[in-house]
Structure 1
Amino acid sequence: MSEVTQFHNLSHIFISLIGAVLLLAIYYNIRKRFRVVLEEGNSFKRVDRGLLFFSCGMLVWVLSGLWAFTAYTFGFERGLGYQFGVNLLSTLNNLFWLLALYYVYDAPQFIYRNEKNVRIISLIIVAVASLTGILSIFLGNTVYAGVKLMAIPDFLLTSFLCYLMGVSFFNTFMHRDLKLVAGISVLVVVLLFVSQWSDVFVWMHNDFVNHLIRIVTKTSLVAVFLVLATSWVIQLANTPKPDEMKIRFLDWSLIELTIPSKGIVGRKVDFGAKTTQYKNLLLFGIRRLKSAPEEQCIEVRYGGEINSQTYVTRIIDNINAILQLSGEDKLERKDLITFIGESKYRLRILPENIFIDKALKLEFSEERS
């Protein structure tokens, strides 16, 4: 084993281990301090585990480093057993990244909180891992036109996950007004993508360059994850508590909203001609106020009571525009509407803080009947 490879494997192990431990410590501290915000509702306990799965992915990196170190120490790095272990650990890592992105609010909509698509992609990951294993048995290290054939399926899958991570990180940090970090995160994901090339293209045989790229990538990714965790803490700290918010539906298109932590106290919001958004908000209010806990949610998807998440987002956008909210006072969708699971959402405001004019409620019920 060359000194460069030995240095890389040991650095890989300790960087990944330190990063994973730090992320786990931050995650459990967040769970302790913000338990009320993370576990809302009377019958639903849906906890954001994105940071936990990112840390688990880094623990898999630790195992892969130990596996590589052991293989090079005992000289079986060219055997099928070693390759099988690499494929297995790569599959676990991809699964953890995918599960983490499921909780990232600004991830592509086809994966964020979409259990069906996540299951499908998980099955694809397992299938690709199986295909890679089969190819390694029948093809071994066969090279065609400078490409290692058995590594192609895993390389394509990892490229797809890199795309998902890049889009998710960029949108998340831009949404939280961290433009410099957004650009750096994209650069880190690009380096992560480039670091996979040496597993596929045999002409990339410079061990020093390949190992340097991987070490820089892993160190930078740990830093990005730590910034992500910090921004999550800030977001949770600025999230209004359910018991402080009040809403009064006064007339068609007119509400009175109170959210003291956002500087909103008894502010009237006139939706005007935006009646669709007002009716959707009223539907959330009626369902939250009058239904049993397990029936307070609304299905938001094609064919559901509300056909698209875009309609839900526009409710918040319209309130921000009408009240001219910006900066820290600007409302986010998660401040007023919380995700329950299986495409279902409900209003975060407590039932006792929701007032609906009786005549308005009667008119709305007659319109829907």
Structure 2
Amino acid sequence: MSQVTQFHNLSHIFISFIGAILLLAIYYNIRKRFRSVLEEGNSIKRVDRGLLFFSCGMLVWVFSGTWALLANYFSFHDSLMYQIGVNMFSTINNLFWLLALYYMYYSPLFIYRNEKNVKIISVIIAIVFGLTLLLSFVLRNEVYSGVKLMGIPDFLLTTFLCYLMAISFYRTFMFRGLKLVAILSVVIVFLLFVSQLSDVFVELGNDFINQLIRIITKTSLVSLFLVLATSWVIQLAHTPKPNEIKIKFLDWSLIELTIPSKGIINEKIDFGSKTTQYKNLLNFGIRRKFNHAAEQCIEVRYGGEIKSQTYITRIIENINTILELSEENRLERKDLITFVGDSKYRLRILPENILIDEALAAEFDKSK
């Protein structure tokens, strides 16, 4: 085993292990301090486990690094058994990344809180693992024109997940006001993609450069996850409490909103021509105000009462635009509308803090 390979494997193990432990410690500290916010209004306790799955993904890197270290030490690096182990760890890692993206608020809508699509992609990951395993038995380490054929399926899947991660991290940090980190996150994910190239294109680069890129990538990802955790803490700390939010539906397209922690005191918001946004918000208000707990939610998905989460997001974006809120005080969807599971959402405001003009409510019922 060369010194470069040995250094890489040991660094890989300890960087991943320390990163995973730090993320786990932060995650459980956040769960302890912000339990009421994380489980708010959620009867099935579907709390945010994104950071937990990122840390689990890094623990998988610890096992894969240990596997590589053992393979080099006992000289079975070129065996079929070693390749099967590599493929297995890669598949598990991809699954953890996917599960983490499921919880990331600004991940693509077909992933965020979409159980059906996540299950479909999970099945695809399993199929890719089976296909890679089959190719391992049939082709072993056969290389054609500098390409290791059995690594192609897993490489394509990893490329797709890198694409999803780049979008998710960029959006998350941009919306949290960390523009430089958002750009760096794309660069880091790109390096993660580049680090996979040598597994398929065997003649690309040399051993030192490839191992260096992997170390830089893993160290950078640990830093990125720590920044993500820190920004999550700040977000939770600035999340308004339900009992401080008050909303009044005064007339068609007109509301009065109060959120003291965001500097919003009795601010009137006229939705104007945005009638769909206003009707959706009014519908949320009426459900929350007058219905029993089990009937206060609205199903948001294709075929549901509201067809897409985009309609909910636009409500918040419109409020931010009208009130011209600063980056620090900008509302997020979680501030007003909470996810309760199974594609259902409800208004986060307490029923007693929702005031609806009686004539307006009656007129809304007739228009349905």
Q: TM-score range by the shorter chain?
A: over 0.9
Q: Give the stretch that moved more between structures: 55-64 or 297-306.
A: 297-306
**CA distance in structure 2 between the aligned counterparts of 1:98 and 1:33, rounded to whole angstroms:** 26
Contact kept, 8 Å, 1:50 with 1:102, in 2: the verdict is yes
Contact kept, 8 Å, 2:43 with 2:340, in 1: the verdict is no
SS of the equivalent of 2:240 reads coil
Aligned residue for 2:208? Answer: 208
* Per-residue CA distance 1:243-273 (angstroms, 9 max, x = gap): 1111111222222211110111222222223
**CA distance in structure 1 between the aligned counterparts of 2:119 and 2:9, rounded to whole angstroms:** 33
**CA distance in structure 2 between the aligned counterparts of 1:259 and 1:289, rounded to whole angstroms:** 18
Aligned residue for 2:140? Answer: 140
**CA distance in structure 2 between the aligned counterparts of 1:113 and 1:214, rounded to whole angstroms:** 31
- 1:305 and 2:326 equivalent? no
Aligned residue for 1:249? Answer: 249
Tell me the CA shift for residue 42 of structure 1: 5.9
Contact kept, 8 Å, 2:288 with 2:351, in 1: the verdict is yes
**CA distance in structure 1 between the aligned counterparts of 2:146 and 2:90, rounded to whole angstroms:** 22
- Which one-letter code corresponds to 1:309 in the other structure? Q
- Which one-letter code corresponds to 2:197 in the other structure? W
Aligned residue for 1:157? Answer: 157
Aligned residue for 1:267? Answer: 267
* Per-residue CA distance 1:164-215 (angstroms, 9 max, x = gap): 1111111111111211111111111111111111111121362111111100
Aligned residue for 1:56? Answer: 56
Contact kept, 8 Å, 1:42 with 1:293, in 2: the verdict is no
Contact kept, 8 Å, 1:271 with 1:278, in 2: the verdict is yes
Q: Give the stretch that moved more between structures: 186-195 or 324-333.
A: 324-333
- Which one-letter code corresponds to 1:105 in the other structure? Y
**CA distance in structure 2 between the aligned counterparts of 1:231 and 1:12, rounded to whole angstroms:** 26
**CA distance in structure 2 between the aligned counterparts of 1:321 and 1:88, rounded to whole angstroms:** 48
Tell me the CA shift for residue 312 of structure 1: 1.2
**CA distance in structure 2 between the aligned counterparts of 1:131 and 1:302, rounded to whole angstroms:** 32
Q: Map of 1:254-333 to 2, 5 A cutoff?
A: 254-333=254-333
Q: Which runs of 5 or more structure 2 residues have no equivalent in the other structure? A: none
Aligned residue for 1:72? Answer: 72
Tell me the CA shift for residue 303 of structure 1: 2.4
Q: Tell me: CA distance 1:259–1:86, structure 2 relative to 1, closer, same or farther (3 Å).
A: same
> Under a length normalisation based on structure 1, what TM-score does the superposition of the two structures give?
0.97
- Which one-letter code corresponds to 2:22 in the other structure? L
Tell me the CA shift for residue 144 of structure 1: 0.7
Q: Which 4+ runs in 1 deviate beyond 4 A?
A: none
Contact kept, 8 Å, 2:51 with 2:229, in 1: the verdict is yes
* Per-residue CA distance 1:66-89 (angstroms, 9 max, x = gap): 111111111111111111111111
Q: Give the stretch that moved more between structures: 150-159 or 250-259.
A: 250-259
**CA distance in structure 1 between the aligned counterparts of 2:300 and 2:77, rounded to whole angstroms:** 50
Aligned residue for 1:84? Answer: 84
RMSD, matched Cα: 1.2
**CA distance in structure 2 between the aligned counterparts of 1:22 and 1:96, rounded to whole angstroms:** 17
**CA distance in structure 2 between the aligned counterparts of 1:190 and 1:181, rounded to whole angstroms:** 14
SS of the equivalent of 2:328 reads helix
Percent of counterpart pairs with the same letter?
75
SS of the equivalent of 1:346 reads strand
Contact kept, 8 Å, 2:109 with 2:309, in 1: the verdict is no
**CA distance in structure 2 between the aligned counterparts of 1:257 and 1:42, rounded to whole angstroms:** 24
- 1:14 and 2:14 equivalent? yes
- Which one-letter code corresponds to 2:234 in the other structure? I
Contact kept, 8 Å, 1:287 with 1:295, in 2: the verdict is yes
Aligned residue for 1:351? Answer: 351
Aligned residue for 2:339? Answer: 339
Q: Map of 1:117-196 to 2, 5 A cutoff?
A: 117-196=117-196
> Under a length normalisation based on structure 2, what TM-score does the superposition of the two structures give?
0.97
Q: Give the stretch that moved more between structures: 174-183 or 14-23.
A: 174-183
**CA distance in structure 1 between the aligned counterparts of 2:220 and 2:177, rounded to whole angstroms:** 20
Contact kept, 8 Å, 2:41 with 2:338, in 1: the verdict is no
Aligned residue for 1:35? Answer: 35
Tell me the CA shift for residue 91 of structure 1: 0.5
* Per-residue CA distance 1:313-355 (angstroms, 9 max, x = gap): 1211222222222221221111101122232211000112111
Q: Tell me: CA distance 1:164–1:232, structure 2 relative to 1, closer, same or farther (3 Å).
A: same
Tell me the CA shift for residue 108 of structure 1: 1.1
**CA distance in structure 2 between the aligned counterparts of 1:5 and 1:274, rounded to whole angstroms:** 60
* Per-residue CA distance 1:118-141 (angstroms, 9 max, x = gap): 000000001101111110001111
Tell me the CA shift for residue 60 of structure 1: 0.1
SS of the equivalent of 1:269 reads strand
**CA distance in structure 1 between the aligned counterparts of 2:317 and 2:152, rounded to whole angstroms:** 44
Q: Which runs of 5 or more structure 1 residues have no equivalent in the other structure? A: none
- Number of matched pairs: 368
**CA distance in structure 1 between the aligned counterparts of 2:17 and 2:42, rounded to whole angstroms:** 37
